[in-house]
Amino acid sequence: MRIPAHSVCTAIRDDIVSGAHARGSRLTEEVLARRYGVSRVPVREALRTLEAEGFVVTRRHAGACVAEPTEQEAADLLDIRVLLEPLGAARAAQRRTEAHLKVLRGLVRLGQERARSGTSEDLRSLSGWFHETLAQASGSQGLTALLTQLRHKIAWMYTVEPSAHPADAWSEHGAIVDAVARGDGERARALMTVHTERSVPSHRWRFPGRTALGDRVRTSQHAVNTASACQ
């Protein structure tokens, strides 16, 4: 059975975000095909998609490599998220379905319970699920894809400090859902703007003082991608 390229793409992207494929390391089709148990065809297609998304670059005499974004490029992504998340919330207020509302309310209820009880382990994944569902409720495949890609790239470039007041963040989620349920797009947009802006200071650049060479030396011990790194 032929494994679809989008599944291979997801696997490679996840490994880039987790650091299994380090910044600047080569991504050779043959090695990747062995790693993921597929032929080179879906790997080739996946690398093209990941290059379009900004996770991979192709360099002369080196081929495909994991991209090495700068701190400024990463900061730009946070600014873009502050613009797009409110747009998604406003669209969701006009286009959401009852099924979307049911999931969103369930996530808010669960998040608030976990925040009150001090059970914080799942809060980050719950928040990601909340934002993903809200994006889907916008009814725009293009906007949903952009927001999903942003979340992947921000997770790759930043660590996020746990909120000192998680209950407040989930109260904000709840207020956004209330506005979406009422069909109040402007209120949903305003609330999401405040929510995303407040989250920006909790993001910490993952690679302070790290050079591309340092990344390569760190990953030279891994079995995957041990071919010479991109120059």
Q: Which residue has the higher pLDDT, 57 or 162?
A: 57
**At 229, is the pLDDT very low, low, confident or very high (cuts 50, 70, 90)?**
very low
Task: Give me the residue spans of the domains in the chain.
Answer: 5-68, 71-205
Q: Whole-structure pTM over 0.85, yes or no?
A: no
pLDDT beyond 50 at 217: no
Produce one character per residue of 199-231: b if its CB has 16 or more CB atoms within 10 Å, e if not. Answer: beeebeeebeeeebeebbeebeeeebbeeebbe
Is it the case that residue 209 has pLDDT exceeding 80? no
Segments in 54-208 forming alpha helices (H): 71-95, 98-117, 123-137, 141-157, 166-182, 185-199
Q: Domain 71-205 falls in which CATH fold?
A: Four Helix Bundle (Hemerythrin (Met), subunit A) (1.20.120)
Confidence of residue 117 (pLDDT cuts 50, 70, 90): confident
How much is the pLDDT for 212? Answer: 43
Query: Which residues contact residue 1 at a Cβ distance below 8 angstroms, ignoring those fewer than 6 apart?
Result: none
Taking only the tens place, the pLDDT of each residue in 85-116 is 999 999 999 999 999 999 999 999 999 999 98
8 Cβ neighbours under 8 A, 6+ residues apart? 32, 36, 38, 42, 43, 45, 46
Q: 179 with 93: CB under 8 angstroms? A: yes
- CA dist list (Å): 111 to 4, 95, 153, 158, 179: 34, 24, 24, 22, 18
Q: What is the mean pLDDT of residues 28-45?
A: 95
With respect to CATH, is domain 5-68 assigned 3.30.70.360?
no
Element (H, E) at 30: helix 29-36
Kindly indicate the confidence band of residue 224, based on its pLDDT and cuts at 50, 70 and 90.
very low
What band does 218 get if pLDDT is binned at 50, 70 and 90?
very low
